[in-house]
Amino acid sequence: MNISTTGMGALVIVLVMALVTLATRWGGVYVMSFVPISDRVTRFIHGMSGSVLVALLTPLAVTGDTGARLALLTTAVIMLLWRKPLPAIACGIVAAALARQF
Amino acid sequence: MINADTELHRLDRTLVWSGFKQLAPISLFVIVFGAAFGLAAVQVGLSDSTILGMSTLVFAGASQFAVLDLWGTQLPLFTMMLTVFAINARHLLMGATLYPWLRYLPAPQRYGVMLTASDANWAMAMQAFSRGQPGLGLLLGGGLALWSFWIVGTWLGIHFGNAISDPASLGLDMVMGCFLLAMVVGGERNLRMLVIWGIAAMASLLAYWYLPENSHVVVGALAGGLAGMLSGGGKR
C-alpha cells in the first residue's frame, strides 16, 4: 500500500513512524512485566545487555571502510589502556578523519 | 550485579540533571548528526515542518535516515513500518534489560522514562547499574539531552545544513560507534563475557550477511542473551 508524501500524507507517515518506534520503546518493558524475574531470566538479560552493542558494532567494523575500522580500533585501544571514554572517542574520530583525507 | 535490592532505581531531580550534564558532551555531536539528517531530508524534498515533526516525535536517527531512502512522491507504508520496526527493535531489548530497575517505578513513570530511551543514554545507564550506581537519572536526563540536541541539530540542518555537507570526511559519522564501543570496552570484562560477546558478534555477522536487512542487532543480542543464560551463573 502506497501513501502520498504530500500534504496530510506526510503527517500520517510521521505519526505512523512515531507509533511504531513508541511500540519498540514500550514493548520490551511491557512484555517483561509478565515475566517473573528468575535467575535464568536475569542471566539472559545480563548476557543480552552488552551483546546489543556488540551486535550493532560488529558489522560496522567488519564491513566499514578503513576510516571506520581505524576509528573503532583507536577507541578500543585507548579505552583498554586509559579507561577514559571522551579522549578515546575523540581520538577515534580524529583517526577516521585523518584516514579519509588520503 | 542485576540484583536491584538497593536503591539503584532511585530517580530524582538531582540525578536527572546530573544525567543531562553527563550526556551533554556526546549530545553536542548529536547536533551534528541531527544537522546531517535535516540537510538530507531537505534534499529529499520533505517540508520543514515534516522534518522537525519527525525528529521530535520519532527521535530515532537511524530509522529516520532509512525512511528518507524510501521517500518519493509515494511511499510504501508497510515496507516503511517494517523498516522502522526492524531498525528500532533494539529498543525492545533495551526496555527488557532495564526492567529489573524500572519495575520499582509506578507505571506512568516507567513508560514516561522509556520515551527517552536511545543507544547512548541506555548504555550509560546500564554501565552505572553494573557499577552499583543509580542509572535511571542517566537514562532520563541523558535522554532529554540527546532528544533536545537532536531537535536543535535537525533545525540547524534545515537552515544551515550546507556548512557540513560531508560529515563523514570529518569522521563525524563514527561518533556514535566510538561512543558505544567505549561503553562496551569500559564495562564488565571477563572471560565469560568475552565468550558471550564473541557469540553475539558471530550471530550478528551471519544475520547481517544471510538474514533480512536490519535483523542483525536483534539476532546478535538474542544469541548473546541465550549464551548468557546457558553459561550458568559464573561469578556473580
> How does the average pLDDT of chain A come out, rounded?
92
Amino acid B1: pLDDT: 47
User: Are A46 and B85 inside 8 Å of each other by CB?
Assistant: no
Dmax of chain B from CA atoms? 57
How large is the ipTM?
0.87
The answer to whether B89 and A26 have CB atoms below 8 angstroms apart is no
Residues of B (35-54) whose Cβ lies below 8 Å from A: 45-47, 50, 53-54
When CB atoms are compared, the residue of B114, B201, B221 closest to A29 is B114
Q: Does B164 touch chain A (CB under 8 A)?
A: no
User: Scanning the structure block, which residue is given the C-alpha cell 539531552?
Assistant: B145
CB neighbour list of residue A37: distance below 8 Å, 6 or more residues apart: B99, B100, B103
Give CA–CA dist A19/B15, Å, rounded.
29
Q: In chain B, what are the domain boundaries?
A: 13-187, 188-236
At residue B122's C-alpha, the angle toward residues B198 and B171, to 5°, is: 75
A45 → chain B, closest CA residue: B97
Q: What is the pLDDT of residues B138-195, one digit of tens each?
A: 999 999 999 999 999 999 999 987 776 677 888 878 888 898 898 888 877 788 999 9
Question: Rounded to a whole number, what is the distance in Å from the CA of B117 to chain A's nearest CA?
Answer: 7
Amino acid B19: pLDDT: 95
Residues of B (180-219) whose Cβ lies below 8 Å from A: 180-188, 193, 196-197, 199-201, 203-205, 208, 216-219
Give CA–CA dist B7/B72, Å, rounded.
50
In the predicted model, residues of chain B with pLDDT beneath 70 are 1-6, 164-165, 233-236
Listed residue (B14, B41, B71, B75) closest to B150, CA to CA: B41
Is the model's pLDDT at A40 over the cut of 60? yes
Listed residue (B135, B132, B134) closest to B122, CA to CA: B135
Q: How many CA atoms lie within 13 A of B116 on its CB side?
A: 27
Amino acid A67: pLDDT: 94
When CB atoms are compared, the residue of A18, A39, A55 closest to B57 is A18
Amino acid B6: pLDDT: 61
Residue range A83-97: mean pLDDT, rounded: 90
Amino acid B8: pLDDT: 87
User: Are B231 and A47 inside 8 Å of each other by CB?
Assistant: yes
User: Are B73 and A93 inside 8 Å of each other by CB?
Assistant: no
Listed residue (B15, B17, B20) closest to B134, CA to CA: B15
Listed residue (A21, A91, A14, A102) closest to B90, CA to CA: A21
